[in-house]
Structure 1
Amino acid sequence: MHQSSGRWRLGLLLSLLTVFLWGILPIALAVTLQTLDVYTVTWFRFIVSFALLAVYLGVRGKLPTLTQLRSASGKLLAIAIIFLASNYVLFLQGLALTSPANAEVIIQLAPVLLGFGGLVLFRERYTLRQWLGVSVLIVGFLLFFHEQLNNLITARGTYLLGTGLTVLAAIVWAIYALAQKQLLQSLSSASIMLIIYGGCALLFTPFAHPNTIFTLDFLHGGILFSCALNTLIAYGAFAEALEHWEASRVSAVLATAPIVTLISVEVVSVVASNLIAPERLTLTGILGAVLVVSGCVAIALGKSK
């Protein structure tokens, strides 16, 4: 099984970059879905990411060779491609039926499942301090998203359907991430992402409507392109973080992404209220945010056995 390099500081930095980018992504996607369908948005994100990464690796002379490709597990590559593609569609469908904050709450099942997968499959271990951090993290989420969780319990119809789709998105993402970590035995993180981007772009080509992209105004076109850049940079940072740090600790840091989302929603709703409706933070929510951050720090920085 793949073993991390041990450069935990670099892994932490890359994880924090991923958190920021994934935290602001639901807002950009929610705005983009006002003018484009799910499949076109997903196809565009993958095709742009593939093209830019291919150019970058080509200039640096680091494109994967045939020998390297043959050494990788075809089954794991297929799993990574299919499950990441499924995650993108399910998450966008769920986002369209709920809201950025609620979608980001539910998708946090993904890093939690990744963390437990790291414990089971890669034989990573939590210390007592880290397990206490998990407990604090759970309590923090319950407090921080108290109002959103109440909405999930009392909601009906499309809102519940969106929640269910987001839960499925979290499950398939965890499977993708575990497959990617194992692929690091035979390929670099950049090579893995190049193959995954290309494979996902091919999967969505028959369902996309590229001509609708040219009808976008400057604002929505710019936001769509920023979503593609977000995909490229965030997943590149995430893949590289798994190279240097344990999956269980990377997943703990990723769990703070909803805080970035809620803060970003507040900022955007003030600057451009016509794009995103504000999310109201209570004192309970602020306390929950503090506990979430404290729990993630305890998990991420606690010494492993």
Structure 2
Amino acid sequence: MPDNVTLRAHLALLLAMLLWGSSFIALKLAVTELSPMIVVFLRMCVGALAFLVVWPWLRHGFHYQKGDWKLLAGMALFEPCLYFIFEAQALQYTSAGQAGMITAMLPLMVAVAAYFLLKERTSPRQWIGFAIAVVGVVLMTLAGEDDDQAPNAVLGNTLELLAMVAAVGYTLMVKHLTKRYSAFFITAFQACVGAVFFLPLALLADWPETISLSTFGTIVYLGLVATLGAYGLYNYSLTYLKASVSAGYTNLLPAFTLLFSMLLLGERVNLWQWFAIALVFLGVYLSQEKRQRSVPPEAPPPITG
């Protein structure tokens, strides 16, 4: 493969991670003006419309088998339904940077769930890594002071952890679906189901008389760029790189989110929180082992902000 093609594939991956990392900041900005359920509903509508436009290229990306509706329904229940209920609410109370760091817990939580539900092997090193990461998340929450970006970090981070629990359920479901469904199709299906699911919740929310152009642009960015664009770049990379290489880039998401939150939202991290963040990354590092993954690396990442 020519070097320039490989370079473009890596740059596409890096850009996809930047877009996904920025989605937490965009969601944080949107929920400061609109009800979280309105934001998620409009985002899902934008994503669903975008995927309908490119449907001619997606309609060959699946091979339905009898009984798949149960897995598809379960996947959609966990994400986008439960995931975005918790995460959109979480970003009303905690900072985007702290929420992004909590997402680093997902691989560890999946490993723990796979141990209990799928009887997959989990080494002592992974258990130690999980414990260290949990301590880091708790310390990061308790060490922070309530401010405009995180008016109630304990509540917000708890809700974000519940979003990660939903992401675990999604991850275990999607493990079986990636054998017959492309990442693009799975994401399009989630957007369409999400638009229907969040419609009544959005109708029950308090709609403002007007939506500012900046907030509307943020929602379009979430549904179009951070979803369709990022997944397009991610899938482009899978064409030229090993799936394990592409999946490895997702470890950059918490770091990018924290960086964007500091640069764009003016969030500040104190010394104890930096120590806590280091503990989270240490825990994630210790949990990495050369073993069979609980989910195929071709699967679309569950964390999309």
TM-score scaled by structure 2?
0.70
Structure 1 residue 198: Cα displacement:
0.9
Give the Cα separation in 1 of the matches to 2:234 and 2:111.
Answer: 14
Post-superposition CA distance 1:128-152 (Å, at most 9, x none):
9xx58x8679758866995544249
Seen in structure 2, the aligned counterparts of structure 1 residues 264 and 177 have a Cα distance that, compared at 3 Å, is: same
Unaligned segments of structure 1, at least 5 residues: 1-8, 269-275
- State whether structure 2 residue 178 is matched by structure 1 residue 184: yes
Contact in 1 for aligned 2:95/2:153 (Cα 8 Å):
no
Post-superposition CA distance 1:236-280 (Å, at most 9, x none):
667899996469x94x75344222122112221xxxxxxx34213
Aligned pair count reads 276
Unaligned segments of structure 2, at least 5 residues: 1-6, 146-150, 293-305
Q: Secondary structure at the match of 2:92?
A: helix
- Aligned AA for 2:173? A
Structure 1 residue 53: Cα displacement:
1.6
Contact in 1 for aligned 2:140/2:272 (Cα 8 Å):
no
Q: 2:105 aligns with which of 109, 120, 124?
A: 109
Report the equivalent of 2:254. 258
Give the Cα separation in 2 of the matches to 1:14 and 1:175.
Answer: 28
Contact in 1 for aligned 2:132/2:282 (Cα 8 Å):
no
- State whether structure 2 residue 82 is matched by structure 1 residue 93: no
- Aligned AA for 2:254? P
Post-superposition CA distance 1:211-248 (Å, at most 9, x none):
9588222222221211112133445667899996469x
Structure 1 residue 44: Cα displacement:
1.4
Report the equivalent of 1:37. 35
- State whether structure 2 residue 137 is matched by structure 1 residue 161: no
Report the equivalent of 2:45. 47
Seen in structure 2, the aligned counterparts of structure 1 residues 45 and 212 have a Cα distance that, compared at 3 Å, is: same
Q: 1:150 aligns with which of 143, 147, 154?
A: 143
Report the equivalent of 1:4. none
Contact in 1 for aligned 2:35/2:206 (Cα 8 Å):
no
Contact in 1 for aligned 2:15/2:233 (Cα 8 Å):
yes
Report the equivalent of 2:70. 75
- Among all aligned residue pairs of Structure 1 and Structure 2, give the percentage whose two residues are the same amino acid: 21
Structure 1 residue 18: Cα displacement:
5.0
Give the Cα separation in 2 of the matches to 1:119 and 1:10.
Answer: 37
Seen in structure 2, the aligned counterparts of structure 1 residues 125 and 213 have a Cα distance that, compared at 3 Å, is: farther
- State whether structure 2 residue 217 is matched by structure 1 residue 222: yes
Give the Cα separation in 1 of the matches to 2:167 and 2:235.
Answer: 13
Give the Cα separation in 1 of the matches to 2:105 and 2:9.
Answer: 21
For residues 3-14 of structure 1, the aligned pairs below 5 Å read none
Give the Cα separation in 1 of the matches to 2:169 and 2:8.
Answer: 24
- Aligned AA for 1:96? Q
RMSD: 4.5
Structure 1 residue 174: Cα displacement:
1.2
Report the equivalent of 1:280. 269
Seen in structure 2, the aligned counterparts of structure 1 residues 288 and 260 have a Cα distance that, compared at 3 Å, is: same
